[in-house]
Amino acid sequence: MSDKKKENKTNKSKSSKKESVKKRKETDDSKESKENQGSVEHFELIDDGYEEDTFVEEIDEDEAEEEFKHFVEEHDKELKGAKVVKVFDKIGKPKIKKLSELDKDSINDEYKKLICLLDEKNIVIHFQNEYPKSEMYRFVTEEIMNQAIEDTKKPHGHINFIYEDFHPEVAEDDDEETY
C-alpha cells in the first residue's frame, strides 16, 4: 500500500474515532441535560435588558439617621398630648348589656354592635382560634372595655387586642411533665 493511502486510512480512522467520541459526548451531554433540566447549572437566562443596579440605591446614612430622628420626634409630639383612657370611654360609654341578660340570638347582634363601635375608633379585636360568640362577647365587655389606652389623634393608628394574649393556650405536651 502506498504511503498516501495509509495516511488517508489513518486520518479516516482518527477522524472516525473523533466523531464517535464526539457523538458519545453529545449523547452523554443530552442525557445529562435532560436529567439536569431546571437545575441551576444548566439554567439559561433570557436577555430581557434588565439591569440589576436599576432598583438598588445607595443609602445615605446621615439622611437615614435624620429621618429616623424626625420620626421619633413626631411620635413623641403626638404622645405628649395624649391622655390615657379606658376603651369604654373612648367608644362613647355605650350601654352594654350583661351576658347573662342575653339569649343566644341577641348575643350575635350585640356583639356586632360592639365590634362596629370599636372599629369606628380603630380598635380591633383578634381571635386566632374559634370561640363561641358568648365567650367573644364576654371578652370584649368584661376585659377589653376596662383596658387603658392612649387617646391619640392619629387618624390611621390602630389599637389591637388579641384574645390569646390575655388567655394563652397551654399545649397538651406542656401539661405532661417529663422526669
153 and 102 in a single domain? The answer is: yes
Distance CA 21, CA 27 (A): 10
96 and 162 in a single domain? The answer is: yes
Q: CA 89, 95, 101 angle in degrees (round to 5)?
A: 135
Query: Quick one: average pLDDT of 16-26?
Result: 55
Distance CA 111, CA 62 (A): 50
Residue 159 in domain? yes
Residue 8 in domain? yes
Residue 78 in domain? no
Helix/strand/coil (H/E/C) assignment for every residue in the chain: CCHHHHHHHHHHHHHHHHHHHHHHHHHHHHHHHHHCCCCHHHCCCCCCCCCHHHHCCCCCHHHHHHHHHHHHHHHHHHHHCCEEEEHHHHCCCCCCCCHHHCCHHHHHHHHHHHHHHHHHCCEEEECCCCCCHHHHHHHHHHHHHHCEEEECCCCCCCEEEEHHHHCCCCCHHHHCCCC
pLDDT band at 147 (very low <50, low <70, confident <90, very high): very high
Residue 133 in domain? yes
| pLDDT tens digits along 154-163 | 767 788 999 9
Distance CA 1, CA 105 (A): 111
Distance CA 14, CA 7 (A): 10
Query: Quick one: average pLDDT of 8-13?
Result: 49
Residue 160 in domain? yes
Give me the domain span that covers residue 128.
83-175
Calculate what percentage of the chain has a pLDDT beyond 90. 37
More confident residue, 92 or 20: 92
| pLDDT tens digits along 72-126 | 888 777 777 778 889 999 999 999 999 999 998 899 999 999 999 999 999 999 9
Residue 77 in domain? no
Distance CA 150, CA 123 (A): 11
